[in-house]
Amino acid sequence: KLPAWFITQNHGLTQKAIIDTLKREGKTQKEISERIGCSQSAVSRHLSGKSVGRKKCGKKRCTTRRGDRTLRKIVEKDRFQTLGDLRKQWTESGVETSRATVHRRVLLNQKQRQKRLTWATEKQHWTVAQWSKVLFSDENKFCMSFGNQGARVWRKTGEKEMPKCLKS
């Protein structure tokens, strides 16, 4: 059976219309929940109107779109800044975040975010057995010698040969 929060947040008008129709036909909440395969509390919440305007789950986004645009402008001024420098400038503009947040905001475009969401949506109902077959690995760069490893540059897809992304 589906939990109560699932029907209230993830099911569209079709599921809710079915609940309303079955209720008008005189079915009990228990009968409705068994018929559509969700919990009785989900049916109850929908019928009582308590599912409307509920708080969202998960951590609140720490930046706004405006803050993200500010970061992109900072990056475009100097493509060769370090992650620490980017974070410092972004903090000075009024956005307090972690290094990881800065890194995600700079590197992921809308297409990449959509791919991540699609991947996660496809796997949201995987069982423990399915996940146990997955090998998770962290990619790390290990340097055997120290010295000039070259400068990193922040650039978008298709900007590889642009003069502002090259250093002489």
Confidence of residue 25 (pLDDT cuts 50, 70, 90): very high
Q: Do residues 9 and 32 share a domain?
A: yes
Q: Is residue 156 part of a domain?
A: no
Q: Do residues 42 and 68 share a domain?
A: no
Q: Is residue 12 part of a domain?
A: yes
- Could you give the number of structural domains in the chain? 2
> What length is written for the chain?
168
pLDDT of residue 11: 53
Average pLDDT over residues 19-43: 87
27 has a pLDDT exceeding 70: yes
5 has a pLDDT exceeding 60: no
Mean confidence (pLDDT) of the chain: 77
Q: Is residue 116 part of a domain?
A: no
Output DSSP code: residue 163.
G
Phi, psi of 109, rounded to the nearest 5 degrees = -95, 180
Number of H helices, E strands in the chain: 9, 0
Average pLDDT over residues 71-93: 86
Q: Is residue 139 part of a domain?
A: no
Q: Do residues 42 and 10 share a domain?
A: yes
Q: Is residue 120 part of a domain?
A: no
User: What's the domain range around 38?
Assistant: 4-48
pLDDT of residue 148: 59
78 has a pLDDT exceeding 70: yes
Q: Is residue 146 part of a domain?
A: no
CA distance 76 to 96: 20
Q: Is residue 133 part of a domain?
A: no
Average pLDDT over residues 115-133: 88
Q: Which residue has the tokens 């308590």?
A: 50
Q: Is residue 23 part of a domain?
A: yes
136 has a pLDDT exceeding 60: yes
Q: Do residues 37 and 69 share a domain?
A: no
